[in-house]
Each structure stands twice: as structure tokens, then as C-alpha cells.
Amino acid sequence: MSGFYTLWDWSCQLAFGHEQLADVTLWLALNRDGLVVFLHPLTGDELRDHTDHAIWMGAVRPLDLSALTG
């Protein structure tokens, strides 16, 4: 696997609108069954989206932020 999530075993990406954030976040919190969940917005500021604006559920994993732009 390449990119920001290089130290993870695997990942799955979900895309949804801001109007669904509360419902999706609640569902993930209740159903993640021990999986690590990483949520972030897409504001155009990749670095802040993956750091300051990110939400983690479970253990925080390392990210390779070297390619991200602010």
C-alpha cells in the first residue's frame, strides 16, 4: 500500500456529504467492532484535514504527511 497510510495493514475509503456526517459517525462508532476509524474532511488543505481536522476512533495510527500540502 502506498500513500499517507503506508504503515497500515489495509484501509477502506468512504465518501459522503456533510449532511450525513452525524449519522455515519454514529454508525461507525457503534459498529466498528474494534477496527480503527479515521475520518477527515476534504477542504483543500490536505495537511490540516489529516491532522487538525481529523477524527480517530480507536488507536491513532502514524501517517506519512510528507506529501501533503497546506
For the cut 80, the answer to whether the pLDDT of residue 41 exceeds it is yes
Could you tell me if residue 25 is inside a domain?
A: no
What single DSSP character describes residue 8? S
- Other residues' Cβ atoms within 10 Å of the Cβ of residue 37: 15
Number of folded domains in the chain?
A: 1
Mean pLDDT value of segment 8-15: 79
If we measure between CA atoms, which residue out of 2, 20, 11 comes closest to residue 61? 11
pTM beyond 0.85: no
* Angstrom distance (rounded) from CA 20 to CA 11: 21
Could you tell me if residue 62 is inside a domain?
A: yes
Q: Which helix (H) or strand (E) holds 23?
A: helix 21-31
For the cut 70, the answer to whether the pLDDT of residue 47 exceeds it is yes
For the cut 90, the answer to whether the pLDDT of residue 5 exceeds it is no
Could you tell me the residue range of the domain that residue 52 belongs to? Answer: 1-9+35-70
For the cut 80, the answer to whether the pLDDT of residue 15 exceeds it is yes
For residues 21 and 63, which has the higher predicted lDDT (pLDDT)?
A: 21
Could you tell me if residue 54 is inside a domain?
A: yes
